[in-house]
A and B are shown apart, each in its own frame.
With several copies, the nearest count.
Chain A
Amino acid sequence: MIPEILKANCRSGFPETRRPRSGFDKSMKYQVTIGDKKFEVDINGDDPTITVNGRKVVVDHRRYKGGKLHSLLADNVRFEFDLERSNGGYDIWHSSGSMFAEVVDEKTNRLRKLMGETGAASKLAQLKAPMPGLVVAVQVKPGQEVKKGDGLVIVEAMKMENELKATGAGKVKEIKVKRGQAVEKNEVLVVFE
């Protein structure tokens, strides 16, 4: 079986494909969370006029380059994003950086609210290695309170020592690595309470 996402990618690789005129649900509300900002996007079938946080916008959205390149004209203003499925959401690459978006439809969102979930939690949970490398120093101990910006672990990679800092406040629960240890990208180094 071709996974669903691959189908989507291949399909949207056709440069000339217009947004199809049929087969879409009549109306759909999506809640998109980027960082601590939330965007309500209402899409009505294949109507080019959508609303975002209540404001009407005329959009023209296409995919190119095998589906990864998303071109958006929003009221004729040009945007370009490279979208990559990641952790149930999307990694969004754009010309000036990257961000992560979580997207849920209205139904799921309502359900979640009922169940008391908070959506994309942004509290300090764990420190992951941003690249493969060698741990040259661990600067914290279990039980230690840290605040945003505190140095946690130094990883040597690409011939440079990189100090990984806390992105928020928290209390160290467990150190998963020790000095001299080689780590993979995204390997968990420190767990917080």
Chain B
Amino acid sequence: MFKKVLIANRGEIAIRVIRACRDLGIRSAAVFSDADRGALHVRLADEAYYIGPPPSTESYLVIDKIIDVAKKSGAEGIHPGYGFLAENAKFARACSDAGIVFVGPPPDAIEMMGDKMAARKAMIAADVPIVPGTEEPVEREEQAINIAKEIGFPILIKAAAGGGGKGMRIVAEESEIKSGVRGARSEAKSAFGDDRIYIEKYLARPRHIEIQVIADTHGNCVYLGERECSIQRRHQKVIEEAPSPLVDEVMRKKMGEAAVAAARAAGYFNAGTVEFLADQDKNFYFLEMNTRLQVEHPVTELITGIDLATEQIRVASGERLSFEQDDVRIRGHAIECRIYAEDPLSGFLPSTGLLRGYQEPSGPGIRVDSGVYEGAEISVFYDPMISKLLSYGKDRKQAITRMLRALEEYRITGVANNIEFHKDILKHPEFIAGNLSTHFIDEHYRPAEEPVSEIEEAAAVTVALAEHEVRNKVTLSSLKKNVTSSWKMSWRPGSEFNKK
């Protein structure tokens, strides 16, 4: 096993890996940009290395810098987290060139799955069902029109190098194709430096269901059940759960075996996720394979009891998987709500600033994977995710109930957040019934325009009382009378008032 691992990431996922390292008795080395010197992942790691200015293109994405500090630190492995360099085959190769183990799949598998076209071809060869569409990148707009006519509208234009909703356009009719192609291409170019796009049939009201797989370097590959990630906004997942309300034992086995076939076709090892679109009749189609640990991996951890991050590191160090397919048992139900600094009332506009107040929920069935603390800054440079709030219960009903309780307890002030949004979704009858699709937000989410009048009234009273207090300047002496001695003891530095 490794003695030290460098974590080439930031935020909650860096912390997730720090925790995995500690559980394995491995020293963790963090990296940080100028914007992250005080970030929680730096506060929790054993060591921390500076890698440059805030923009990720000058720090977290610079392969040479990461390799350099890894060498300097003496780390034997690098965990890339998700995002940044996690699915960069060049980086994986640079690691092995430097004699450092990349905690992830082989570069060839990253490359193949990163190229949507190549992946589709391999899946066809491996008998994994795919969505009808192009097998080659689309060059000209006219070509796109012909393909669209062939497979029928609506179609989806996607970046070949894409992910996370970037470089993606839905086109409902012929007249929109040209602008769609152009938009997707330019977004893809700026996001991935690769403007190749492809086209596939757009499924109406699909469900997004994915299978977690993990494979060792000894030829063992196991699936760990599914996650349903249909609740999305801006084409990005916000609520995930496991198991899926749609999937039964038969479908789970079929999808799981297809996912393992997909992984084997790519010569895969380490953790990975095979994403499928499913229709309400339980047909499913290969969408893509994410060659890394997913944001939403904890829901799988909760229902299987398997620690994916430690298992990743074990496998990367050459160990065999500690379990077989038959050992994987699903128990209970887990939900993840991604808590973002964003305003659902303004089209999910990200919010930045100081976390003035920050108090996480806890208690039975609750886990919070967060990357912040009270007084920390939500910076403009990175993803505005505050935390992943997870609930676990004996069944879906209890998981929902506990999640609502945790959302109610969560206190975030100073930046906008989507806690109310999550509550609205989780209380929605269609969500409770498990009738999900990737259009759920568009179809069902209707934010309350006005805050509850009871809260407004209480706020008005509080403002008046606060103002009243300020105006009627109270002398210090009258206040000091009521202060206990222990308080006085601890209030020393920075206070004018204890100096008389």
Q: So, do A and B actually touch in the complex, CB under 8 Å?
A: yes
Contact residues of B: prevailing secondary structure: mixed
**CA of A50 to CA of B466, assembled, Å:** 13
From known contacts A34-B460, A61-B462, infer whether A85 and B493 are also in contact, taking CB-CB under 8 Å.
yes
Which residues on the B side are within 8 Å of A130 (C-beta)?
343, 346, 349, 351
Expressed in whole angstroms, the Cα–Cα distance for A67 and B469 within the complex equals: 12
B409 to chain A, nearest CB (A): 8
A1-33 contacts to B (CB < 8 Å): 2-25, 28, 30, 32
Question: Complex: how many Å from CA A118 to CA B129?
Answer: 64
**Interface positions of B (Cβ within 8 A of A):** 29-30, 34-35, 37-38, 42-43, 45-50, 72-73, 166, 187, 191, 234, 343, 345-347, 349-353, 356-357, 374-377, 380-384, 408, 410-414, 416, 419-420, 423, 450-453, 455-476, 478-479, 482-487, 489-497, 499
Residues of A within 8 A of B452 (CB): 96
By a CB distance below 8 angstroms, the chain A residues around B353 are 185
Q: Are B497 and A20 in contact (CB under 8 A)?
A: no
Q: Could you say which of A64, A67, A79, A185 contacts B458, with CB atoms under 8 Å apart?
A: A79
Contacts of A23 in B (CB 8 A): 472-475, 478
Residues of chain A within 8 A (CB-CB) of B191 are 159
Q: Mark A162-173, 1 if CB is under 8 A from B, else 0.
A: 111100000000
- Using a CB-CB cutoff of 8 Å, which residues 78-106 of chain A contact chain B? 78-86, 89-90, 92-99, 101, 103, 105
Given contacts A14-B482, A97-B420, 15 further A-B contacts (CB under 8 A): A8-B469, A13-B491, A35-B456, A39-B464, A53-B457, A59-B461, A61-B465, A64-B375, A72-B465, A76-B49, A95-B410, A96-B419, A103-B464, A131-B350, A157-B380
- Whether B499 pairs with A82 at a CB distance below 8 angstroms is no
- Chain A's closest residue to B409 (CB) is A95
Contact of A14 among B384, B459, B460, B479 (CB under 8 A): B479
A60 — which chain B residues lie within 8 A by C-beta?
37, 50
Closest to A72 in B: B462
Total residues of chain A contacting the partner, CB 8 A: 93
Interface contact A11-B460, CB-CB below 8 Å: no
CA distance A145 to B43 in the complex (A): 47
The answer to whether B465 touches A184 (Cβ under 8 A) is no
Bound-complex Cα distance A8 to B475 (A): 11
Provide 20 A-B residue pairs closer than 8 Å at the C-beta atoms, listed in order of the A residue: A12-B469, A14-B482, A23-B474, A23-B478, A25-B471, A37-B456, A70-B462, A72-B461, A77-B47, A78-B43, A78-B45, A83-B466, A84-B356, A93-B413, A94-B459, A95-B411, A95-B412, A105-B471, A130-B351, A158-B381
